[in-house]
Chains A and B, each alone.
Chain A
Amino acid sequence: MSHAKTKKHELKDVTEPNLWEGIFPHDTVPRIPFDSAIIEEIDGKRVTFSPHAALARDIHITDTTFRDGQQSLPPFSVDHVARLYDYLAQLGGPNGVIRQTEFFLYTKRDREALDRCRSLGHRFPEITGWIRADAGDLRLVKEMGLKETGMLTSCSDYHIFYKSRKNRKTAMADYIKVVEEALAAGIRPRCHLEDVTRADIDGFVLPFVSRLMELSESVPENQRVKIRLCDTMGFGVTYPGAALPRSVPKLIYRMTHDAGVPPACLEWHGHNDFHKVHVNAVTGWLYGLNAVNTALMGIGERTGNPPLEGALFEYVQLKGATHGADLRVITEIADYFANVMHIEIPPRHPFVGRDFNVTRAGIHADGLRRDERIYNIFDTTRILGRPPRVAITDKSGVDGIVLWVNNFLGLEGDERLKKVNVHKIARWVLDQYEIDSRTSAITDDELAEQVRIHLPEHHSRHHARSKR
């Protein structure tokens, strides 16, 4: 077997470490630089997408916490909805990084919640509706005085034939009828192409969307029909070369190039059945759509929707700026979910879970002790109000315990204790597992008690300080 000739690579020894601080500034969110175009082959043609052009567009986030999110949980109270809406306004900021949110209109409580949110007077997120493509449902939108509504326009044959018991022709005719009625009433329709990743793109989706674009030509720009690509079952994939209807890049390209949908009128809505929900959504920004539909904490039918907080961090990483979004509000919302609404957030859920920046391995704890940047994704204390923590088990080692004790006692700089100062506590922890065969993590209360026993002077000082 022959080896291809490769360039000889010389080691460059350096006196200062290369920390790539332009990409990983630590005090702010990391950046995602692009140094090449994205290339796909579509219909036998080589197609180039420019990430820089994509990121110069008005990309943004939309929210479905009160619709798809709430649908997956027991109903929210009106107070919960109003508080979350207020949080969304703070989180997305005055420039509308979180641009819209959608509401059911069916029950008295749905409508009361919508009114309460509207009375708060926030410009963003704009309040829109969600209805079936049905004249009766459209009446609700008119009565609520909404300017835009999503409408369910299922487009796979699974839905057209087996759910709606129609054929393609009648389905399309029914959808178009409601769209025309909405446009006539001055309501902007947002057609939710349900199950698009299992649909016949050439045989149904393109004819339908092209017709919607034709209808849009006779209305003002702010009323043009929007298209939401709904990956209802999470079948979408972003792999270059993957075929339609599952290819996210090709779906978007066909919409923008073959049906003439402007990026400002195109949105992605996904589900997490194959663990692809976040990457499918945010990749859409790069391939030509402006809006990514999300829900707080990723709640939503079955496996959930793209987590809003994840999309927001992606936005900041891609754009290199928050554009007025206030990331610290994420932690307030997570606390509200957990403590007021009693919605369980998985402990390892990025950015919001109880353990998202908790390390258990002793060697990682040692890294954290030496320099937080080694094992914390960014300055989580500054950005999210969440200092990195160490959870103590038999894997934590003395490194983990000394970090926990220093954090608990609030010791900084030269005051920080060394491993040798906490060896008795470390021995107690290890004995819990080796002698007592314990299988659970050590609780903070247990460790605090060990600090009181083995480091009484430090414990008293800490106690006195925390009482002040």
Chain B
Amino acid sequence: MQESVEDKVKKAVVKVLKVDPARIKPTSRFAADLGAESIQSVELVAAFEEEFDISMDEDEALAVETVGDAVTFIGKCVREQHEV
């Protein structure tokens, strides 16, 4: 079965931030709740781009605050870049 966008996002978050998957909720904020430091935010964007084979506007991607918003944002990028 194909992994969902949400599952892939969670997998990248666990890998980069080294957090317990159980802590990751759609409302979890990367910095405030999951402890993402500045460099880890950039590493997350890089991990998402690699995982989904997409290119994201860096400023917009770094402005995303929660896991749920990341799923939405990445889903939109995937549709735009892979389903044309």
List chain A positions with a Cβ less than 8 A from chain B.
Answer: 362, 397-398, 418-420, 423, 426-427, 430
Complex interface: chain A residues within 8 A of B62 (CB): 419
Q: Closest A-chain residue to B55, C-beta based?
A: A420
> Is the beta-carbon distance between B38 and A362 smaller than 8 angstroms?
yes
Q: Is B46 an interface residue (CB 8 A)?
A: yes
Complex interface: chain B residues within 8 A of A418 (CB): 58
Complex interface: chain A residues within 8 A of B43 (CB): 423, 427
Could you give 25 example pairs across A and B, Cβ below 8 Å? A362-B38, A397-B38, A397-B39, A398-B38, A398-B39, A398-B42, A418-B58, A419-B42, A419-B45, A419-B58, A419-B62, A420-B42, A420-B45, A420-B46, A420-B49, A420-B58, A423-B39, A423-B42, A423-B43, A423-B46, A426-B39, A426-B42, A427-B39, A427-B43, A430-B39
List chain B positions with a Cβ less than 8 A from chain A.
Answer: 38-39, 42-43, 45-46, 49, 58, 62
CA distance A217 to B42 in the complex (A): 76
CA distance A362 to B38 in the complex (A): 10
CA distance A419 to B42 in the complex (A): 7
Q: Considering residues A398, A420, A423, which has the most beta carbons from chain B within 10 angstroms of its beta carbon? A: A420
Nearest CB in chain B: distance from A313 CB, A: 36
Nearest CB in chain B: distance from A100 CB, A: 54
Q: Considering residues B38, B42, B43, B58, which has the most beta carbons from chain A within 10 angstroms of its beta carbon? A: B42
CA distance A418 to B55 in the complex (A): 11
CA distance A8 to B27 in the complex (A): 42
Complex interface: chain A residues within 8 A of B58 (CB): 418-420
Q: Closest A-chain residue to B37, C-beta based?
A: A430
Q: Closest A-chain residue to B57, C-beta based?
A: A418
Tell me the total A-B contact number using a CB cutoff of 8 A: 25
Given contacts A398-B38, A398-B42, 11 further A-B pairs with CB under 8 A are: A362-B38, A397-B38, A397-B39, A419-B42, A419-B62, A420-B46, A420-B49, A423-B39, A426-B39, A426-B42, A430-B39
Q: What's the dominant secondary structure at chain B's contact region?
A: helix
Complex interface: chain B residues within 8 A of A427 (CB): 39, 43
Q: Closest B-chain residue to A399, C-beta based?
A: B38
Q: Closest B-chain residue to A429, C-beta based?
A: B39
Complex interface: chain B residues within 8 A of A419 (CB): 42, 45, 58, 62
Complex interface: chain A residues within 8 A of B49 (CB): 420
Complex interface: chain B residues within 8 A of A430 (CB): 39
Nearest CB in chain A: distance from B47 CB, A: 9
Complex interface: chain B residues within 8 A of A362 (CB): 38
Q: Closest A-chain residue to B48, C-beta based?
A: A420
Complex interface: chain B residues within 8 A of A397 (CB): 38-39
CA distance A129 to B28 in the complex (A): 76
Nearest CB in chain A: distance from B4 CB, A: 23
CA distance A419 to B62 in the complex (A): 10
Nearest CB in chain A: distance from B9 CB, A: 16
Nearest CB in chain B: distance from A371 CB, A: 14
Nearest CB in chain B: distance from A419 CB, A: 5
Nearest CB in chain A: distance from B14 CB, A: 17
CA distance A419 to B49 in the complex (A): 13
Q: Closest B-chain residue to A363, C-beta based?
A: B38
CA distance A418 to B41 in the complex (A): 13
Nearest CB in chain A: distance from B36 CB, A: 13
Nearest CB in chain A: distance from B49 CB, A: 7
CA distance A423 to B42 in the complex (A): 7
Complex interface: chain A residues within 8 A of B42 (CB): 398, 419-420, 423, 426
Give me the 3 closest cross-chain CB pairs, A-B, nearest first. Answer: A418-B58, A423-B42, A420-B46
Complex interface: chain B residues within 8 A of A420 (CB): 42, 45-46, 49, 58
CA distance A418 to B59 in the complex (A): 10
Q: Closest B-chain residue to A418, C-beta based?
A: B58
CA distance A418 to B60 in the complex (A): 13
Complex interface: chain A residues within 8 A of B38 (CB): 362, 397-398
CA distance A398 to B39 in the complex (A): 6
Nearest CB in chain A: distance from B5 CB, A: 19
Complex interface: chain A residues within 8 A of B39 (CB): 397-398, 423, 426-427, 430
CA distance A426 to B45 in the complex (A): 14
Nearest CB in chain A: distance from B7 CB, A: 22
